[in-house]
Amino acid sequence: MQCKEKLETYLQQNHVPFQEQQHERAGSAQQVAQAEHLSSEKMAKVVVIYVDGKMMELALPASSQANLEKVRASLGAKEVLLADEEDLAMAFPDCEIGAMPPFGNLYGLPVYVEKRLANEDAITFSAGTHTDTISMKYIDFANLVHPHMLDFAGPSAVV
């Protein structure tokens, strides 16, 4: 089963309303937000990192950058590194690289959400491809994923 179908099935099994959208191929969350005419604050992008060797997902507004130093300090970690494309291909074999949804729970990964994203009524995110997105209420997302809240976005980021 492909990522999109896995995600749709999971949402349907949990009786969570959602909307699917399609757009022209886009390489970044900012480009997706533009293609879908929505605020980049409501478009969630996913950054996959290793914290002291353990893989996890960060979900944040497309308009923001992940400040890995803030992540390291907040989690009391020694080392925070970005996952590379090979890591992404292995961890998310059913998703296109760079189009992972913020549902790390479906892949055995913890999810950390930037507090600003949690303030949105609804969020939109990639559904495993560079042409498909899903929109849903943030509260429904939080009830399914049980993300950890963290303040990690900032201008001094690498991503």
Most distant pair of Cα atoms in the chain: their distance: 40
CA distance linking residue 28 with residue 44, whole number of Å: 11
pLDDT of residue 64: 87
Per-residue pLDDT tens digits for 109-159: 999 999 988 888 999 999 998 889 999 999 999 999 999 999 998 753 444
pLDDT of residue 158: 44
**In terms of Cα–Cα distance, which of 96, 104, 112, 93 is closest to 51?**
112
48-87 pLDDT, tens digit per residue, is 999 999 999 999 998 889 999 999 999 999 999 999 999 9
Which residues, other chains included, contact 81 with Cβ-Cβ below 8 Å and sequence gap of 6+?
49, 50, 68
How many CB atoms within 10 Å of residue 148?
Answer: 12
> Which residue type does 55 have?
M
Report the predicted TM-score, pTM, of the whole model to 2 decimal places: 0.87
Q: What homologous superfamily does CATH list for 3-122+141-150?
A: YbaK/aminoacyl-tRNA synthetase-associated domain (3.90.960.10)
C-alpha 154/C-alpha 134 separation (Å) is 25
- Domain ranges for the chain: 3-122+141-150
DSSP 98: T
